[in-house]
């Protein structure tokens, strides 16, 4: 039984890197083979025992809520046909999870989006998934791996991976000392640094476990990089007051906010899809 039952999905962003595909469709609904990105994320949360899903949405994102709800017409239409099997996974998700939504009416950054989700989370530790980072864990999902570390240390945790120096400007970047294999105590973290100022090439990817005191820290965090309230800045403050850990996850991550990452994920899951067809 997981100690963490809630997972927050900030999903209000416009997805401008994927225009025109995302002009009238949420980027989280882009399909990788036959499943929308957000469903991969929700499945990862469920695997980690987080069955209470909170989604921070925005204008033009109603398709997300419709996806995680029953479609009676569709059910009626395909009932008793060979296509019914295609709905097995999503039916199980709708059955086993609860979904709560709140809207972020202004895009003021990831920190602000997470703070907007406070009303869905309350005073409990929670997971955060950025659905456009699609992760494939080695033995278990990335959030499951992080939940195990949380059970041991009970503090905020960010997932990290090594990236080439010339790409650090796209990420939050950490510096820290290794506590155990792949687990670092964060001493510094910077949002989207210039390569010359980057404290390392360990980049934060879109998986977090946060303790609820982070909400108060975000409230006092001024806008940072790009004039937005950054979760990285709030976590940097948290690291000076409490321990924050960075975890080098075991597995693979696809940046599905970029065309290259999206195509990489599609190829990966197409292979799996093909294996399943011939099994
Ligand atoms: C956000 C975070 C950044 C993190 C990244 C991971 O940036 O602000 O720290 O490294 O997600 O995907 P974004 O990609 O939303 O600009």
141-173: pLDDT as tens digits: 999 999 999 999 999 999 999 999 999 999 999
CA distance 118 to 250: 29
| Nearest alpha-carbon partner for 131 in 228, 257, 251 | 257
How buried is residue 181: exposed, middle or buried, by Cβ count under 10 Å (0-12/13-18/19+)? exposed
203 Cβ inside 6 Å of ligand 1: yes
Mutate which of 110, 162, 248 for ligand 1 pocket (most atoms within 8 A of beta carbon)? 110
Confidence of residue 62 (pLDDT cuts 50, 70, 90): very high
CA distance 47 to 49: 5
Which ligand 1 atom sits nearest the alpha carbon of residue 230? 8
> What is the pLDDT at residue 1?
44
> What is the pLDDT at residue 155?
97
| pLDDT at residue 45 tops 70 | yes
| Nearest alpha-carbon partner for 58 in 100, 132, 113 | 113
| Nearest alpha-carbon partner for 249 in 135, 130, 93 | 135
Token representation of residue 66: 């419709």
By DSSP bridging, strand 183-191 and strand 244-248 are antiparallel
193 Cβ inside 6 Å of ligand 1: no
By DSSP bridging, strand 202-210 and strand 251-255 are unpaired
Mean pLDDT over each residue of the chain, to the nearest integer: 95
> What is the pLDDT at residue 178?
95
Mutate which of 206, 228, 236, 265 for ligand 1 pocket (most atoms within 8 A of beta carbon)? 206
Question: Taking residues 38-42, what's their average pLDDT?
Answer: 98
> What is the pLDDT at residue 86?
86
- Hey, which residues does 36 pair with through a beta bridge? 31
Query: What are the residue boundaries of the structural domains of the chain, listed by start?
Result: 6-278
Confidence of residue 71 (pLDDT cuts 50, 70, 90): confident
Q: Which CATH architecture describes the domain 6-278? A: Alpha-Beta Complex (3.90)
Confidence of residue 52 (pLDDT cuts 50, 70, 90): very high
Question: Taking residues 59-72, what's their average pLDDT?
Answer: 93
> What is the pLDDT at residue 2?
55
| pLDDT at residue 269 tops 50 | yes
> What is the pLDDT at residue 261?
96
Give per-residue pLDDT as tens, 186-215. Answer: 999 999 999 999 999 999 999 999 999 999
Ligand 1, atom 15, lies closest to the CA of: 110
> What is the pLDDT at residue 49?
97
| pLDDT at residue 256 tops 50 | yes
Select the more confidently predicted residue: 189 or 2: 189
CB 198 within 8 A of CB 225: no
Question: Taking residues 220-247, what's their average pLDDT?
Answer: 96
Give per-residue pLDDT as tens, 85-121. Answer: 888 899 999 999 999 999 999 999 999 999 999 999 9
């Amino acid at each position: 039984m997981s100690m963490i039952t809630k997972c927050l999905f900030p999903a209000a962003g416009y997805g401008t890197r994927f225009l025109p595909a995302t002009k009238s469709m949420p980027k989280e609904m882009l399909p990788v083979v036959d499943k929308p990105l957000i469903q991969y994320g929700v499945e990862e949360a469920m695997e980690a025992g987080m069955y209470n899903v909170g989604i921070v949405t925005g204008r033009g994102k109603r398709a997300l809520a419709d996806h995680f709800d029953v479609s009676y017409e569709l059910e009626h239409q395909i009932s008793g046909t060979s296509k019914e099997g295609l709905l097995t996974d999503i039916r199980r998700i709708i059955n086993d999870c609860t979904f709560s939504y709140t809207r972020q009416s202004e895009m003021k950054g990831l920190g602000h989006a997470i703070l907007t989700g406070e009303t869905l989370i309350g005073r409990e530790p929670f997971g955060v998934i950025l659905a456009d980072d699609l992760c494939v864990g080695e033995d278990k999902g990335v959030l499951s791996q992080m939940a195990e570390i949380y059970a041991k240390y009970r503090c905020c945790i960010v997932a990290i991976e090594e990236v080439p120096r010339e790409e650090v400007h796209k990420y939050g970047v950490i510096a820290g000392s290794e506590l155990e294999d792949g687990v670092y105590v964060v001493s510094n973290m910077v949002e989207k640094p210039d390569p010359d100022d980057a404290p390392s090439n360990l980049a934060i990817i879109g998986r977090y476990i946060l303790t609820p005191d982070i909400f108060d820290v975000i409230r006092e965090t001024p806008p940072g990089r790009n004039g937005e309230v950054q979760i990285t800045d709030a976590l940097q403050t948290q690291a000076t007051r409490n321990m924050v850990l960075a975890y080098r996850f075991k597995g693979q991550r696809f940046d599905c906010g970029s065309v290259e990452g999206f195509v990489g994920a599609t190829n990966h899951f197409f292979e799996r899809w093909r294996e399943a067809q011939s099994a």
